[in-house]
Structure 1
Amino acid sequence: MAVRLAAVLLAVSVAACGDNPEKLHPDAGDRVVARVEKHEIWASDVRREAVAQGLIGDAEPLDVASELFRRVLDEVIDQTLLAREAERRGLDKSPAAQRRLEAVRQRILGDMLVESAVDKAVSDEAVQRLYAEQQRRAKRSEEVRLRLILSDTRAEADAVLALLGQGTSFEAVAAQRSVDEASRALGGDLGYATPDLLPPVYAAAITEKAAGSVIGPVEASGRWAILRVEDRRAETPPTLEQARPVIVRYLTYEGVRQLLEQLRGKANVEFEIDPPRSAPQTPPPVSTAAAAASSPVATS
């Protein structure tokens, strides 16, 4: 799995990395799609530019026969022409150009190191291991399946209750009398939900009510509800595939965080400026707040 931390990769950076296609273009199935004088443009160059512009996702393929590929290829050709002309005029020799080219080179090399580290951190085995740990530590709540008949007035709700008392099926009354458009066509079926996802008055009304119980009328937001508890069950845990995106994101953040922590621990970093007074003396190398917030592992 490839991970990009840099938002933009400049096409001019290719010229600063040498001319060995074996090193520059390791992508499987890569091929030259254009030449600008002696400079080769590879399909992977075009795809990376499309990713950098946000035209496709990082893991999304780009068909060389597509209109999008041709449009981005034209942009890469233009950029290459501009870079070659800048070299011809000697602009790449200026100190400012050298600093900017070196910054791009460092960004690319940093991206490649991160990709390598994440490839090791985010494996199928690691995902499965973390998923199993999550399932072991997670505390399951209960899911309740409800049916609903919603009325505009208390009198209408009482009339509904009377019909149900006469033996009329809940589903039939819901289909005929409920003003809740979403559930009426389903016989009032609201499906399974944990109590915290229900309106608070519904959740309070069905507390400890067994399957088959009819509850109400219950006032909710100016309307009146009759509820029936269809079923109670333990909350269904997410499948591995459902949990995978969150787990992969967590492992990615952890892999990058640990790598930077190791590098910072070995390196001698000296600041030539004072940090802002409101900031800590040594700010963390990468924010892990998002990773912590999306961590799939329970903390208790």
Structure 2
Amino acid sequence: MLRFHKLALAACVALIGLQNQVLAEDAVVAKVGDLTITQSELDLAVANLDPQLSQLPDEQKKVAALSGAIDVKLLAGTAVGEGLKDDPEYQRRMAYIADRELHNLYFKKHVVDAVTDAEVKARYEKEIAALPKQEEVRARHILVKTEEEAKDIIKQLDAGKDFVELAKEKSTDPNKSEGGDLGYFTKGRMVPEFEEAAFAMEKGTYSKTPIKTQFGYHVIKVEDKREAAPPTLEEVGPQVRQLVMRDKYLEIIEKAKAEKKVEIVDEALRKGYEDVNKQQEEQPQQ
């Protein structure tokens, strides 16, 4: 259920952004009889172009969108003349759109605009405190094709040869020019065999036997081991803000459900609705 709410939340944010864009500029860009096409309408038409046209250059997208908007105005004006504004299907669609836009305005006021920087910071600190501590390793490696080559490199290291120089000379990995430096990495970033060997080694040591992976044979040197630093608020601020917005949205929805009884007539739909709501209630807060 949280996935559904995340999708709804993302859609609401996108729609609100589009509304703000529409209100920002409203110059007339074309006239169709007595009707006009404004810049805001053209922006909407561009935003709703067929995905196949989304790769066009900006100016071509505008032209394609304007062409479609002109077609819409031409037939819309004709439809009004035929009295189609009184058509039940049109009325149903307009009622749905009106409800959706009211929902979006309420969402913007009570969710998007209601989230404060202090709330985001507090949620960030809560999330960081709940993160498990992770060790990270900084390592270098020399990658070769055969086990014999790897064993020979280990012999040269035992004899005092410099690891960086050997990496530049012998490694087949693209990072050989950096002396095989892989930087810092946490568990889950490397293939299992490489990861297991690197995290089992002590700082300053190199592997005494070749490490075989799908890429070939590795000789690994661990340069450093430390506790991984958590992401900063600046790095994850937008994601944390989304979490705060999600919680506000869910709180508003639950309050509205408590105040207004929801009745679903179709039995299958009712059961499905109840099931996803039950899953949401059982899922722990994140």
State whether TM-score is above 0.5: yes
Per the alignment, residue 184 of structure 2 pairs with 192
Q: SS of the residue aligned with 1:214?
A: coil
Give 1:218's aligned residue.
210
CA distance in 1, matches of 2:23, 2:268: 41
Residue of structure 2 in register with 1:44 after alignment:
40
TM-score (norm 2): 0.78
Find the counterpart in structure 1 of residue 254 from structure 2: 261
Distance 2:256 2:98 in 1: 18
Structure 1's unaligned 5+ residue stretches are 10-22, 56-62
Within the candidate set 183, 194, 197, 1:202 is matched to 194
Runs of 5+ unmatched residues, structure 2: 1-8, 52-57
8 Å Cα contact 1:211-1:231 kept in structure 2: yes
1:275–1:281 CA contact under 8 A, matched in 2? no
Q: Which has the higher helix share?
A: 2
Do the aligned residues in 1 keep the contact of 2:264 with 2:270 (CA within 8 Å)?
Answer: no
Distance 1:158 1:190, change over 3 A: same
Alignment partner, residue 59 of structure 1: none
Tell me: CA distance 1:100–1:35, structure 2 relative to 1, closer, same or farther (3 Å). same
Kindly provide the CA deviation profile for residues 74-100 of structure 1, in whole angstroms up to 9, marking residues without a partner as x.
322321222221111011212222212
Cα deviation for residue 232 of structure 1 reads 1.3
Match of 1:53 among 43, 49, 52: 49
Could you say if the C-alpha distance between residues 261 and 82 of structure 1 is closer, same or farther in structure 2, counting changes exceeding 3 Å?
farther
| Alignment counterpart, residue 93 of structure 1, candidates 86, 92, 110 | 86
Asked if the contact 2:137–2:198 (Cα under 8 Å) also holds between the matched residues in 1, the reply is no
Structure 2 letter corresponding to 1:220: K
Residues 136 and 269 (structure 1), Cα distance of their counterparts in 2 relative to 1, 3 Å cut: closer
Distance 1:73 1:116, change over 3 A: farther
Is the 2:211–2:219 Cα contact (8 Å) retained in structure 1?
no
Aligned to 2:54: none
SS at match of 2:155: helix
Instruction: Please name the residue that 1:12 is paired with.
Output: none
Map Cα deviations across residues 163-218 of structure 1 (whole Å, 9 max, x no partner): 11222210111111122x23222211111101332332233323453321111323
How far apart are the structure 2 equivalents of 1:46 and 1:109? 22
Rounded Cα–Cα distance in structure 1 between residues aligned with 2:179 and 2:20: 62
1:214/1:229 contact within 8 Å kept: yes
Which range is displaced more, 66-75 or 99-108?
Answer: 66-75
Q: CA deviation at 1:70?
A: 4.2
Determine if the alignment matches structure 1 residue 28 to structure 2 residue 24.
yes
Q: Aligned residue pairs: how many?
A: 268
Q: Which residue of 1 aligns with 2:263?
A: 270
Which residue of structure 2 lines up, in the alignment, with residue 130 of structure 1? Answer: 123
Q: For residues 89 and 282 of structure 1, do their structure 2 counterparts lie closer, same or farther at Cα, with a shift above 3 Å needed? A: farther
Task: Report the alpha carbon displacement of residue 72 of structure 1 after superposing the two structures with TM.
Answer: 2.0
Provide the secondary structure at the position in 1 that maps to 2:267: coil
Partner Cα distance (1:131, 1:68) in 2: 40
237-246 or 142-151: which moved more? Answer: 237-246
Give the deviation of 1:283 after TM superposition.
5.0
Structure 1 pair 206–261 and aligned structure 2 pair: CA distance change class (3 A) = same
Shift of 1:258: 2.4
CA deviation after TM superposition for structure 1 residue 6, in Å: 9.8
Residue deviations 1:198-251 (CA, integer Å, cap 9, x gap): 332233323453321111323323632211111112212212232123223323
- Which residue matches 2:65? 72
Secondary structure of the residue aligned to 2:138 is strand
1:106-135, Cα deviation, whole Å (9 max, x unpaired): 222222222333323444333222222223
Q: Distance in 2 between matches of 1:255 and 1:49?
A: 31
| Pair 26,73 (structure 1): closer, same or farther in 2 beyond 3 Å | closer
Whether the 8 Å contact between 1:147 and 1:189 is mirrored in structure 2 is: yes
